[in-house]
Amino acid sequence: MSDPLVVVNFKTYQTAHGASAESLALAMANIETGARMIAAVSAIDLSAVVAAAPGLEVWCQHLDPVGFGSNTGWLHPSTAIERGASGTLINHAEHKVSLEHVAMLLEQVPEEFEVCACAADVEEARALAALEPDFVAVEPPELIGGEVSVTSADPEIVSGTAQAVKDVSGAVGILCGAGVKTGSDVSKAIDLGTSGVLLASGVTKSDDPSVALNDLVSLL
């Protein structure tokens, strides 16, 4: 099995934007673990985070399948890549897009650029897996930002998504998220068939992000 992923979505938390985003990324880069640590950051913070934490994998939180030209406010994949992004989230519960949007983005980005498509349930995960992104992440919207991990609140959606995605394509990795905050949550996610986790507040709202990060990878 490849190294498990721990993807931290910085969202627009006050504790994970601007200079705070750089500090959090540096804390992630300094964690000693065999897991792949990935920071998903605001497009505005991308260049600064890449510079502040050399060696840390940095993803965008969203991209648009647009060409060069008159596209005010849209996020061009080539610009993100030039600024150091190695991947992106797409279709997060807080920024939904169409299947066509995801498909067009996958066609536009280079093969080595990783795309993690987010799904609210097993059926959406199955549909996204058919497009063959690098990862599909299942996150029940009602559990996002909550105190109970999806691995405890609804383990069947995790295992069910893992099986559904594998049935569609063995090339697509599976992540899960929503309420994931501890090493036990991460370990259980792996046991349920995932390649890792996608999380946010468990790190971004922690009083000590380094302690939270070390706990998350403690059982890997």
Residues identified as active-site:
92, 139
How far is it, in rounded angstroms, from Cα 62 to Cα 41? Answer: 9
- CA contacts within 13 A on the Cβ side of 92: 19
How far is it, in rounded angstroms, from Cα 191 to Cα 94? Answer: 27
Strand-pair partners of 37 = 6
Q: Helices 209-216 & 183-191, crossing angle to 10 degrees?
A: 30
How far is it, in rounded angstroms, from Cα 117 to Cα 101? Answer: 11
Q: What is the dihedral of CA 120, 196, 52, 202, to 10 degrees?
A: 70
Q: Is 14 exposed, middle or buried (0-12, 13-18, 19+ CB in 10 A)?
A: exposed
